[in-house]
Amino acid sequence: MLWTQVAYFVTGLLGLGFLVLEVSEFARMLEIGAGPQRSAFLSAFFTLVGCHGLHVTVGLLWLGTMMAQFLAKGFRPDILRRATCFALFWHALDIIWVGIFTNVYLLGTSP
């Protein structure tokens, strides 16, 4: 139980750190006039990264819920099934983001 809670807590801190960096980056970009209305690239950037941030936000709420359920109910089969669903949600984000990153940032910079 302890190591599960520690791992979830560290995951939550990293997700929260990402959100703080994302919001500060968006704020800096908007300050210099690089908002989504400026170009198609920036529009896609704000949409893709913003959707990623929304997914992380939902994941953090779910993560907190799972931590509370583990503490309150332990490792019952129904709670473990929910944890598996959460893991699929969280890691699907990784897979999708690798595809988006490859297409937008790596392939998008080729001539």
Residue showing tokens 């959460």: 86
> How would DSSP label each residue in 23-63?
HHHHHHHHHTT--TTS-HHHHHHHHHHHHHHHHHHHHHHHH
Per-residue confidence band for 2, with pLDDT thresholds at 50, 70 and 90: very high
Query: What's the pTM?
Result: 0.82
Q: State which amino acid sits at residue 29.
A: M
Mean pLDDT of 51-72: 95
Say whether pLDDT at 7 is over 70: yes
